[in-house]
Amino acid sequence: MKTKNIIIKIVVVLMLSNLIACNEEFLDRQPLDKFTENDVFSTEESLETFVNRIYNQQYTVGTLDWWWRMTFELFYSPLTDESHGKFDFWHFKEVISGGLTPDNMGVFINKWSISYQGIRNCNLFFKNIPISEEAGVSPEAIARLSDEVRLLRAIIYHDLLKHFGGVPIADQVYDLNNLEIIPRNTPKEVSDYILATLDTVIANGNLPGSYFDMAMNNKGRGTVALAHALKSRVALYAASPLFNTSNDASLWDTAAKASLDAINYSEAQGHGLYDDYQGVFLDDYNMEVIFDKSLHSTSTATDLDNTIDRDLNANGYGGWTSMSPTQDFIEAYETADGLDIEDLGSGYTLDKFWENRDPRFYATVLYDGAMWKDREVEVFLPGGLDSRDGPEDWNTSRTGYYWKKLLDESVPKSELGGANRGTQNKVEFRMAELYLNYAETQIALGNEDKAIEYIDLIRSRPGVDMPSVSGLSGQALLDKYRNERRIELVLEGHRFHDLRRWDMYYETLNGFEVERINITKAGDGTKSYSIGLADGGEGINKYVIKPENELIPIPRNEINKSEGIIKQNPGYN
């Protein structure tokens, strides 16, 4: 029976152009119109290069402009209450101004198409394994690379799922003469497919256990620990309210087991919480990191490039301040005593907002008077070097704060302009997420003492040493957990997806106002403080979120190409 699916049709010319891009040495061997799949799949070197091409696609999925390809997880921050996005290079404004439609996809314009290109390449790999076997590529290399590709395909499918909900599952390369249009699978079917794939990878045992088992030049490739960590995340999303509308407890059981298995396996491999929260993101391959992306490039300005230091640094330090923390996020930090700032006895006052806060505040945020590089940050008016009155005022923060997390303080100002080659890796999976995932499952299952135990693991790490959350229960514990996740995982791409999987994106952010701190310095050096609405710049300062934005629309052209077989998400015309 002929099903139909145009989104994943394989056009031979495009296939070969992708293959050509995998290994430039082929260019010296034969004309462009003479490439064959045998060229790509007949040696271990060329086979691995093809797989590397699939890894590299992770860096560009969903973006519009080469300037911003390297920091895609950062794009999610100004779609939430974490950050105010000053520029609209990233086309995030459509999402938070009520303008996201199938014809106006904003930052997500290429998410669907590039994801399916990645899936197509994964399927092409498996289709051509017989060529590799016949050519004498070692069975060990084929087995290892096959499981790496299974992992990569699982990552891509989950990325699609958490944006669009159910999507078509395509696990083969389709004949050009027998094009197929596959209807969308349900979210549960996609989740089950991913989880089964990860079970296969784990059971096969063809991959190293963790980074600790790998040579330096192989770090950043798939491991069994990564398969476990991804399984924890996928199962948690499947159990969450957006996809688990009946609150099926068995899905929470599955998520709990997946998270605990991931924790136990990773700890047995030597992973654990790193004793320096800021260092987690700067010290490559530290014990907390399960999987990260190396973004460092020394090639031309239009190649893959790590722009984090340039994008987030304050204007007075040569940065662009592309996004900055919101006042709401600043207020989410507890005091060092574990009190919310509005609690009686917290001692919080606006004119001393930086005193006695959760230590992660100081590792994450730069504020007026904080030390950074060789001087104090100056956000005050008039004349503050990092203020709207500074010498590089076009790059100033619109909220009165700057990000510190992820930044390398040693990078000199002279290297921040143009296409900065930052050297820090982008952390994708780490132990703190696994502990938080497990805690969430235990709250859902009513095991509150166990949830508190795992939340406290995060809070009690050396250098953080925050008080226990013991004594909380019910909604108060759930709220504390959600805030803990917000604080711990900020700028790592989680908040946007967390709010949506909790079915809380519209509830939390529709009408959200971006506020700033105003600091005025008098002639005698005293400062006064007030809170006001942020200057929107190219961004906006009041969000318009619609109920349908819990899922991203499928691009109109994909719906049209499918002749209506692929159905649009609810609420989008």
Q: In this structure, what CATH number is given to the domain that contains residue 250?
A: 1.25.40.390
d(CA 242, CA 236): 11
pLDDT, residue 229, reads 99
Backbone angles phi, psi at 516, to 5 degrees: -130, 160
CB 209, CB 241: distance < 8 Å: no
d(CA 232, CA 344): 38
Cβ-based burial of 414 (10 A; exposed 0-12, middle 13-18, buried ≥19): exposed
In a domain, 279, yes or no: yes
In a domain, 255, yes or no: yes
E strand residue ranges, 384-435: 402-403, 426-430
In a domain, 4, yes or no: no
Q: Could you list the residue range(s) of the whole structural domain that residue 286 is in?
A: 218-295+429-504
Amino acid at 150: R
Task: Flag residues of the chain having pLDDT under 50.
Answer: 1-34, 61-70, 297-305
Within a 10 A sphere around the Cβ of 569, how many other Cβ atoms? 18
pLDDT, residue 71, reads 56
Q: Copy the structure tokens of residue 133.
A: 């076997």
d(CA 221, CA 535): 43
pLDDT, residue 456, reads 99
Amino acid at 433: E
Q: Copy the structure tokens of residue 285.
A: 């391959």
Cα torsion for 31, 37, 39, 45, to the nearest 10°? 140
In a domain, 275, yes or no: yes
pLDDT, residue 391, reads 77
pLDDT, residue 552, reads 98
Residue written as tokens 């235990």? 442
pLDDT, residue 293, reads 82
Helix axes 187-204, 224-239, angle to 10 degrees: 160
In a domain, 387, yes or no: no
pLDDT, residue 303, reads 40
In a domain, 284, yes or no: yes
Overall domain count for the chain:
1
In a domain, 353, yes or no: no
In a domain, 570, yes or no: no
